[in-house]
Amino acid sequence: MLKWLKSLFQKQDGNVLVITSFAFTGLIALAGLVIDGGHLYMTKTELQKVANAAALSGAQVLVREEDSGNRVAKVTTVVQDILQKHDEVSSLAGSPKISNTQLTVKLEKKCRFIFFQFIWYRFRKSKR
């Protein structure tokens, strides 16, 4: 393999085309990684903002309500309301965990890759 690479760089006939095609393939792969990584990061950030908003709104109700039986229902309602306003009701993983001084809201969402999904589809289609 090393001899082949050395001979590739020593012979100059058509090397530009080969090297450019390898570089372009790597550049396209990096662009796909950047696109999908950015999409994943934006989804994570959006879910974090919604979870923070739901937890803070629920915590305000948690502090204000003195009746412990009614408090859980009101906190859950407020959290559901915030999630509904942000169109993330389906992202709620379980129910909010409520204790005397703490509220935990956990959101999960499947993130579909854009670029590599296209590449994978083309790869699977060509194997058939």
How do residues 18-29 score in pLDDT, each as one tens digit?
788 889 989 988
Q: Counting every residue, how long is the chain?
A: 128
Amino acid letter, residue 44: K
Please give the backbone phi and psi of residue 121, each rounded to the nearest 5 degrees, phi first.
Answer: -60, -45
Beta bridge partners of 104: 97
Predicted local confidence at residue 2, as pLDDT: 74
Q: What's this model's pTM, rounded to 2 decimal places?
A: 0.71
Q: How many CB atoms lie within 10 A of CB 81?
A: 14
Predicted local confidence at residue 16, as pLDDT: 77
Predicted local confidence at residue 18, as pLDDT: 79
Predicted local confidence at residue 125, as pLDDT: 58
Residue 56 or residue 100, greater confidence: 56
Average pLDDT over all residues of the chain: 84
The whole-angstrom separation of Cα 35 and Cα 48 is: 20
Which of these, 91, 83, 77, lies nearest to 54 by C-alpha position?
83
Predicted local confidence at residue 127, as pLDDT: 55
Please give the backbone phi and psi of residue 35, each rounded to the nearest 5 degrees, phi first.
Answer: -65, -50
